Amino acid sequence: MRYIVSVFALCAGFGGAVAGAPAGLGEMVLIPAGEFVMGGDRRDDQGYQERYGFEKPLFVNERPEHRRHLDAFLIDKYEVTNAEFKAFTRATDYPEPMAWIQNGYNVRDDKLRSAHVSNLRWIARDYFHLDRDTSRMEKPALLAALFEIQRRRDRLPVSSVSWYDADNFCRWQGKRLPTEAEWEKAARGPNGNEYPWGNEWRLEKANTGDGIDSEEVVMPPGSFPGDRSYYGVQDMGGNVSEWVADFYRPYPGSDLTVSAQESRHRVVRGGGAGTGHYALSLFFRSPRRAHADPEMRSTDVGFRCARDVK
């Protein structure tokens, strides 16, 4: 408990500059008006449910395949980053993600600079999990190591945020969360690609977390240039899954039954790098639908924003 109180003391206050997001983040892509293919009629002919022990049948909530017409809209080219969300929390006094308190990301640079070296040593060890003997490190070396970690985290997509957190951020920016249909059109293009890049599964195209030997399997947005949709939107196949605006509902004409509890859920789209040994292609398909309680916070769920064309 002593450690928690001390970190809170270091982090008191929200003022001060925030490291800027990488160049290009915040850019939006115009998705033109028109029809597109939504959903699909795929069935579990390979027995994935039994083979991997999934609780529910696969693909049922994607049916039936249908065509939708959408007006033109704009969608973020990249997922929202930690640095962008931190700017929001500090400008508005919005609560920071609990994960930031647990890993030290919420600590301001000026608080680290003013901390005694003995405090920096245990913060580096217990919160930043610095893989070095911090007991022998002096303040300049400690600060350099901690700032390097913080700047790397700045560039990562924000996660461990609820649907409400995502919605509030987008509204603060004068935007909104994309609808489920908008997200799918931006990912699949007008002809209903199975994956953002096309119809063939390519493991190297997206960040699935496969082969990454690190606690942080997510990567800065745009790190996988192959994970690019027909319209040029990045990371809709992997990296983090994303909240969208809609409540979880069956598509028109579907025989899907949604429980009362599930009907209060919001839809989550896209594959995440936190699927571990389940790095199967079906998790990264653009028509795939997931859903969760809007209060849920997961290390592999983030978001991007959209807005109407004025």
* Lookup result for tokens 């292609």: 281
Query: Would strands 306-308 and 73-76 be described as parallel, antiparallel, or unpaired?
Result: antiparallel
Q: How far apart are CA 251 and CA 39, in angstroms?
A: 8
**What is the residue extent of each domain of the chain?**
2-18+86-154, 28-81+158-308
Q: For position 20, what pLDDT does the model report? A: 37
Q: Is the pLDDT of residue 276 over 80?
A: no
Q: For position 52, what pLDDT does the model report? A: 84
Q: Is the pLDDT of residue 72 over 90?
A: yes
Q: Is the pLDDT of residue 281 over 50?
A: yes
Q: Is the pLDDT of residue 97 over 90?
A: yes
Q: How far apart are CA 29 and CA 187, in angstroms?
A: 12
DSSP H/E element including 241 = strand 241-247
Q: For position 54, what pLDDT does the model report? A: 87
* Lookup result for tokens 């997510």: 218
Q: Is the pLDDT of residue 1 over 50?
A: no
Q: For position 6, what pLDDT does the model report? A: 30
Provide the whole-model pTM.
0.89
Per residue in 157-169, pLDDT (tens digit) is 999 999 999 999 9
Integer CA distances (angstroms), 220 to 69, 114, 166, in order: 32, 29, 18
Q: How far apart, in Å, do the first and last CA atoms of the chain sit?
A: 51
Q: For position 48, what pLDDT does the model report? A: 86
Share of the chain above pLDDT 90, in %: 80
What are the phi and psi torsion angles at 103 (to 5°)?
Answer: -110, 5
Query: Stretch 64-79: mean pLDDT, rounded?
Result: 98
Q: For position 10, what pLDDT does the model report? A: 33
Do you know the residue count of the chain?
310
Per residue in 16-45, pLDDT (tens digit) is 333 333 345 579 999 999 999 999 999 999
pLDDT band at 216, cuts 50/70/90?
confident
Query: Stretch 238-250: mean pLDDT, rounded?
Result: 97
Q: How far apart are CA 59 and CA 101, in angstroms?
A: 38
Per residue in 44-57, pLDDT (tens digit) is 998 889 988 888 89
Share of the chain above pLDDT 70, in %: 88
> Over the chain, what is the mean pLDDT?
89
Task: Tell me the two tokens of residue 68.
Answer: 């939708």
Q: How far apart are CA 30 and CA 186, in angstroms?
A: 9
The residue that leads in pLDDT, 214 or 284, is 284
Query: Stretch 211-240: mean pLDDT, rounded?
Result: 90
For residue 65, give the 3-state DSSP assignment. Answer: coil
Is the CB of residue 284 less than 8 Å from the CB of residue 199?
no
Per residue in 113-151, pLDDT (tens digit) is 999 999 999 999 999 999 999 999 999 999 999 999 999
* Lookup result for tokens 């293009």: 189
CATH topology of domain 28-81+158-308: paralog of FGE (formylglycine-generating enzyme) (3.90.1580)
Q: Is the pLDDT of residue 274 over 90?
A: no
Give the DSSP per-residue string, 72-104.
-EEEESSPPBHHHHHHHHHHHTPPPPHHHHHHT
